[in-house]
Amino acid sequence: MFNLKNKAVIITGGGSGIGRAIAEMFAKQHATVHVIELNEDAATKVKKGITENGGKAFSYCCDISNQQKVKDIFNSIGKADILVNCAGIAHVGTAASTNEEEFTKVFNVNVKGTYNCLHEIIPIFKTNGSGVILNVASIAAWVGIADRFAYSMSKGAVHAMTMSLAKDFLADNIRCNSISPARIHTPFVEGFISKNYPGKEAEIFEKLSTSQPIGRMGSVEEVAALALYLCSDEAGFITGNDYPIDGGFIKLNN
């Protein structure tokens, strides 16, 4: 089950965290993986790790907010069967404390960047006669989270784009879903805690972990496993849905 042999997968943000875990898991399932990442060294490292383990991977350095660069890379890839939109940035702030520059930066990466990739993949999938898209949203698209105004805006947009695209391209045999992680243990989380709470790392990590009713953060491998299912042929009857992977955060955190 969940074999991706002869499938070509494009993964944005595939150089670290959730994106890297998805790239590595999909490669283990025999997909050809195309890693798109702003950090060229990180992308190269993921590609090297996959190929050294017998997989097939390619890496590309790209700012996904630049539509022309996205277009050029997608054209160079040519054939693709699956797109995973994982690239994104976070931001801490309220509507009052977030300035225009910060808001625009989050929008350009998380919203416009996702749109750019969707815009370029649709013609490829229509030529194929099929395709699968998975967008990484967030629980912030479902519930209010303090000090995450711009980030929540962007992930709400990702959720809405998912539903719209799924409906628009049903007749083209293109499936589109999204996943909404809660707090996942990634290098980003470690860096965020160290930067904002020096000397209180252990305390803050515990606080963030227990904010999920299940009592811990999720792992990147758990998110990758859900992504694998939704992108596989076994999920062929699933489209136009968002799947929280949140340790009970949305429904049980009362």
- pLDDT per residue as tens digits for the range 218-232: 999 999 999 999 999
% of the chain beyond a pLDDT of 90: 93
Task: Look up 60 and say whether it is catalytic.
Answer: no
Question: How much is the average pLDDT of 153-171?
Answer: 98
For the cut 90, the answer to whether the pLDDT of residue 196 exceeds it is no
Q: Give the relative orientation of helices 113-128 and 67-77 as an angle to the nearest 10 degrees.
A: 30
> What's the pLDDT tens digit per position in 17-61?
999 999 999 999 999 999 999 999 999 999 999 999 999 999 999
Six token digits for residue 3 = 């074999």
Phi, psi of 84 (to 5 degrees): -115, 115
pLDDT tens, position by position, 239-252: 999 999 999 999 99
> What's the pLDDT band for 254 if we cut at 50, 70, 90?
low
**Per-chain mean pLDDT for the chain:** 96
pLDDT at 154 > cutoff 80? yes
What pLDDT is recorded for position 120? 98
Beta bridge partners of 36: 12, 60
The CATH superfamily holding the domain 8-182+227-238 is: NAD(P)-binding Rossmann-like Domain (3.40.50.720)
Among 60, 151, 229, 243, the one annotated catalytic: 151
**110-133 mean pLDDT:** 98
Mean pLDDT (whole number) for 104-118: 98
Count of H-run helices and E-run strands, the chain: 10, 7
**What is the Cβ-side half-sphere exposure of residue 126, based on CA atoms within 13 angstroms?**
10
Average pLDDT on 168-182 reads 98
pLDDT of residue 63: 97
> If you average pLDDT over residues 192-212, what whole number do you get?
89
Helix ranges, the chain (H): 17-28, 40-52, 67-77, 100-106, 113-128, 149-168, 187-196, 201-210, 220-231, 249-252
Q: Which of 55, 88, 66, 62 is nearest to 77 (CA)?
A: 62
